[in-house]
């Protein structure tokens, strides 16, 4: 009923002809005036479905995104880094809570979202299906993945759907701390010993291609951008976000004398656009459709957490029930 679309196929939700034309015109006029749409306001079914799809995927990305970094909490070098990473991972899970609440305002129950994630019906960000082999992988995630997320989320926090925008504002504030923490940790490695430099360079080499995928397929093949930008859910296209990320972070990477694994990467002085080798979009499709290096592992962890936590959720929902905990 709610599900996502099929990658690179025409939207299945193109049912605007069935909407009341007057209501639709007033809705679009409100968006054009920069007003926020709130849960009780009239909205076309397509707007609701697109928002559920996107916010739900975003929420899933936050809880699944907590996993590759989460495994580094106990192995982070030193007490301070352990504490900081633990706080960051906790924040990411908190972001998921905010986003699930925003998606619930559109009518999809949280349990169903969780089931759709576990059963592979809903997507989540490609990037969290790659392994974090070393401490340097964890620092690159904290720096560059959070940086990419901020580019996208800051733009969309100015969008049209009130609950999503308010969640994004709060998320961006927290992500900016993550970014500083990640940058600091990368600087430490990049200005450290030869082994530390090699370790961070190898991590950057591993994360660069998925990072280029992170912003979504090129605008010319993006399925949902047109309708989402029209209704100000997406305030920047996939290519615009990718360009902005390159503008902001390539100089910072080069400043640390790290290299980017793309010999074609350069800024065109005429167009002011970055030119780069197209990342492997076939790999992207495989990864977002469940066949990446860690998809099965990530969903298995999530499934176990759901099963182990069921009695807690049920106890909270029915406080009068006399529960005997599995630990008793
Ligand atoms: N990964 O028409 P398109 C974080 C799918 S977490 C997977 O361009 P759209 C963090 C897309 O869903 C924050 N799938 O789509 C957490 C669609 O498939 P369906 C992550 C992707 O929606 C912990 C199809 O490809 N950020 O920061 O217009 C630790 C066609 O694409 C991806 C968000 O979630 C992808 N990368 O644009 C550290 C931001 N890209 O649904 C950090 C919210 C595309 O038709 N989401 N697809 O089956 C968005 O802004 C947009 O949904 C996207 C895609 C830009 C990602």
- Residue 323 confidence (pLDDT): 57
Q: Which atom of ligand 1 is nearest to the CA of 216?
A: 40
Average pLDDT over residues 155-166: 98
- Residue scoring higher pLDDT (9 or 122): 122
Q: Is the CB of 132 under 6 A from ligand 1?
A: no
Q: Nearest residue CA, atom 42 of ligand 1?
A: 146
- Residue 1 confidence (pLDDT): 36
**Cα of 4 to ligand 1 centre, how many Å?**
11
Q: Nearest residue CA, atom 9 of ligand 1?
A: 224
Res 162 pLDDT > 70: yes
Q: Is the CB of 65 under 6 A from ligand 1?
A: yes
Q: Is the CB of 125 under 6 A from ligand 1?
A: yes
The model's pTM is 0.94
Give the count of beta carbons closer than 10 Å to the beta carbon of residue 174.
17
- Residue scoring higher pLDDT (312 or 212): 212
Q: How far, in Å, CA of 284 to CA of 282, rounded?
A: 5
Domains of the chain: 32-266 (1.20.1260.10)
Q: Nearest residue CA, atom 41 of ligand 1?
A: 4
Average pLDDT over residues 216-233: 97
Q: Is 267 exposed, middle or buried (0-12, 13-18, 19+ CB in 10 A)?
A: middle
Token digits of residue 246: 């390159």
Res 14 pLDDT > 70: no
Q: Which atom of ligand 1 is nearest to the CA of 287?
A: 7
Q: Is the CB of 122 under 6 A from ligand 1?
A: no
Q: What torsion, rounded to 10 degrees, do the Cα atoms 110, 111, 117, 122 define?
A: -60
Q: Nearest residue CA, atom 23 of ligand 1?
A: 65
CA neighbor of 161 nearest in space, from 56, 31, 53: 31
- Residue 324 confidence (pLDDT): 56
End-to-end Cα spacing for the chain: 40
Q: Is the CB of 224 under 6 A from ligand 1?
A: yes
Q: Nearest residue CA, atom 27 of ligand 1?
A: 149
Average pLDDT over residues 147-155: 98
Q: How far, in Å, CA of 38 to CA of 31, rounded?
A: 11
- Residue 6 confidence (pLDDT): 41
Q: Is the CB of 214 under 6 A from ligand 1?
A: yes
Cα angle for residues 191, 130, 295 (degrees, 5° grid): 160
Average pLDDT over residues 5-18: 55
Q: Is the CB of 92 under 6 A from ligand 1?
A: yes
pLDDT in tens, 63-104: 999 999 999 999 999 999 999 999 999 999 999 999 999 999
Q: What percent of the chain has pLDDT over 90?
A: 89
Could you say which DSSP state residue 71 is in? Answer: T
Can you say whether residue 218 is alpha, beta or left, with left for phi > 0 and alpha for psi between -120 and 50 degrees? beta
CA distances from 1 to 107, 121, 198, 226 (A): 12, 11, 48, 22
Q: Nearest residue CA, atom 8 of ligand 1?
A: 222
- Residue scoring higher pLDDT (33 or 12): 33
**Cα of 173 to ligand 1 centre, how many Å?**
20
Res 194 pLDDT > 50: yes
pLDDT in tens, 229-265: 999 999 999 999 999 999 999 999 999 999 999 999 9
Res 30 pLDDT > 50: yes
Q: Is the CB of 217 under 6 A from ligand 1?
A: yes
Q: What percent of the chain has pLDDT over 70?
A: 93
Average pLDDT over residues 101-112: 97
Pocket test for ligand 1, best of 53, 129, 158, 216 (most atoms within 8 A of CB): 216
Helix ranges, the chain (H): 21-32, 45-70, 79-104, 110-118, 135-140, 146-156, 162-190, 194-214, 225-230, 238-255, 281-288, 295-317
Q: Is the CB of 213 under 6 A from ligand 1?
A: yes
Q: Is the CB of 239 under 6 A from ligand 1?
A: no
- Residue 313 confidence (pLDDT): 87
Mean pLDDT value across the chain: 93
């Amino acid at each position: 009923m709610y599900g996502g679309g099929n990658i690179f196929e025409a939207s299945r939700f193109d049912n605007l002809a069935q909407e009341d034309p007057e209501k639709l015109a007033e809705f679009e006029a409100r968006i054009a005036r920069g007003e926020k749409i709130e849960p009780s306001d009239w909205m076309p079914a397509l707007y609701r479905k697109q928002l559920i799809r996107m916010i739900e995927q975003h929420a899933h990305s936050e809880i699944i995104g907590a996993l590759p970094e989460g495994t580094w909490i106990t192995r982070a070098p030193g007490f301070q880094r352990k504490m900081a990473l633990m706080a960051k991972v906790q924040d990411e899970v908190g972001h998921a809570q905010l986003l699930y609440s925003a998606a619930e305002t559109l009518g999809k129950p949280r349990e169903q979202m969780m089931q759709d994630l576990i059963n592979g019906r809903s997507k989540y960000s490609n990037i969290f299906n790659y392994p974090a082999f070393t401490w340097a992988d964890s620092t690159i995630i904290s720096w560059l993945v959070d940086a990419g997320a901020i580019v996208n989320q800051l733009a969309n926090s100015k969008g049209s759907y009130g609950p999503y925008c308010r969640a994004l504002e709060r998320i961006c504030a927290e992500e900016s701390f993550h970014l500083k923490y990640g940058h600091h940790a990368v600087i430490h490695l990049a200005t450290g010993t030869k082994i530390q430099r090699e370790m961070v360079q190898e991590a950057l080499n591993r994360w660069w291609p998925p990072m280029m995928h992170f912003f979504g397929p090129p605008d010319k093949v993006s399925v949902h951008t047109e309708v989402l930008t029209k209704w100000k859910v997406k305030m920047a296209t996939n290519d615009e976000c990718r360009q902005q990320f390159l503008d902001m972070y390539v100089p910072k990477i080069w400043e640390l004398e790290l290299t980017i694994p793309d010999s074609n990467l350069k800024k065109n002085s005429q167009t002011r656009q970055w030119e780069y080798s197209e990342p492997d979009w076939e790999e992207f499709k495989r990864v977002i459709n469940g066949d990446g290096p860690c998809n099965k592992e990530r969903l298995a962890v999530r499934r176990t957490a759901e099963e182990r936590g069921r009695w807690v959720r049920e106890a909270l929902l029915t406080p009068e029930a006399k529960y005997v905990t599995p630990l008793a």
